[in-house]
Amino acid sequence: MSYEVIRYESAEGVATVTLNRPDVHNAMNEAMRRELTRCFGDIAVDDEVRVVVVTGAGERAFSAGADIREFVEPAAPTRFREQRKRVDFRQAMDRCWQPIVAAIRGYAFGGGLELALACDIRIASDDAQLGLTEINLAIIPGGGGTQRLPRVVGRGKALEMILTGARLSAAEALRIGLVERVVSAERVQAEAGELARTLADKAPVALRYAKESVVKGLELPLADGLRLEADLSTLLRTTDDRLEGARAFLEKRRPKWTGK
Ligand code: COA
């Protein structure tokens, strides 16, 4: 895979996607949106990748959001029609069965925070600032922010953030459940890497079904969610890895997963 404004690396089951425009705090332009869509589309069908880490290049930003320079270009109807045809990269992320970890250092504003919200687990540096700041530019979040933020922090807090365009500290983000962990700036990448390796060591099919059960279940009425959980749980009782897990426990050794 070759890219210009993102970087992609993959080793031992962990893929790392890095937004790579540090000169503009990794602001997302059209090229970046296209590359992210292609990248996550490929990851979704790559069985070698078991966990994904998303991060920003440089020390100051995860991403400062959409590239505001593109906002001053005339809004040609043909451009909108082209955009409507395309899959948003955050929807491409939704199709990934692999857990996605956001390693957030510095600024995560607008589309940058929306990208983090499309991840499954968020780790932030203690100097991070996070916000859906679109209202200050007379627009609203259009990359899933108005839908994903209330599902993460609740309706009142989401409305407060979206209507004021406030920039939250990492400590406040942790308090309201917008991020799962806050660590020192130097530790963010290492912490995300360690978490990713922990997840990549789990039995692949169980990892996949665990995410599917939680993520899809949240969109279902409770009875249907419980049915989904029961089905996936029953399916997992048919795997070789389930036998291997039990045998390894009884034989006091590390399991060797085959993904079967
Ligand atoms: N789009 C395009 N360029 C951006 C950008 C964005 N979203 N955010 C930052 N940049 C550019 C700046 O224009 C500047 O470019 P220059 O060096 O050519 O002047 C460069 O990145 C560095 O940014 P700067 O503002 O000088 O850094 P800072 O540390 O003083 O402030 C921010 C950082 C993130 C607080 C500030 O840049 C900002 O508020 N950005 C906009 C965030 C936003 O509203 N995002 C939502 C978009 S919908």
Stated pTM of the model: 0.95
Contact status, residue 87 vs residue 132, Cβ threshold 8 Å: no
In this predicted structure, the answer to whether residue 56 has a pLDDT above a threshold of 70 is: yes
Task: Give distance in angstroms: CA of 182 to centre of ligand 1.
Answer: 23
In the residue annotation, 114 being an active-site residue is answered as: yes
Atom of ligand 1 nearest to the CA of 67: 1
DSSP string, 18-75: EE--GGGTT-B-HHHHHHHHHHHHHHHT-TT--EEEEEESSSSEEE--B-GGGGGS--
Per residue in 66-76, pLDDT (tens digit) is 999 998 877 77
* pLDDT number for residue 1: 66
Contact status, residue 94 vs residue 115, Cβ threshold 8 Å: no
Mean pLDDT, range 60-71, rounded to an integer: 95
Mean confidence (pLDDT) of the chain: 95
Task: Give the neighbor-by-neighbor strand order of the sheet with 129-131.
Answer: 61-63, 107-109, 129-131, 168-169
Mean pLDDT, range 117-128, rounded to an integer: 98
Mean pLDDT, range 194-198, rounded to an integer: 98
In this predicted structure, the answer to whether residue 229 has a pLDDT above a threshold of 90 is: yes
Strand partners, 96: none
Name the active-site residue from 30, 59, 73, 134. Answer: 134
Residues contacting ligand 1 via CB (< 6 Å): 24-25, 27, 64-69, 107, 109-110, 133-134, 137
Phi/psi at 24 (5° precision): -120, 35
Mean pLDDT, range 52-56, rounded to an integer: 98
Atom of ligand 1 nearest to the CA of 69: 2
* pLDDT number for residue 73: 79
* pLDDT number for residue 94: 93
In this predicted structure, the answer to whether residue 225 has a pLDDT above a threshold of 80 is: yes
Contact status, residue 140 vs residue 162, Cβ threshold 8 Å: yes
Task: Give distance in angstroms: CA of 172 to centre of ligand 1.
Answer: 22
Which 8-state DSSP code applies to residue 237? Answer: T
Residue with the bigger pLDDT between 187 and 75: it is: 187
In this predicted structure, the answer to whether residue 79 has a pLDDT above a threshold of 80 is: no
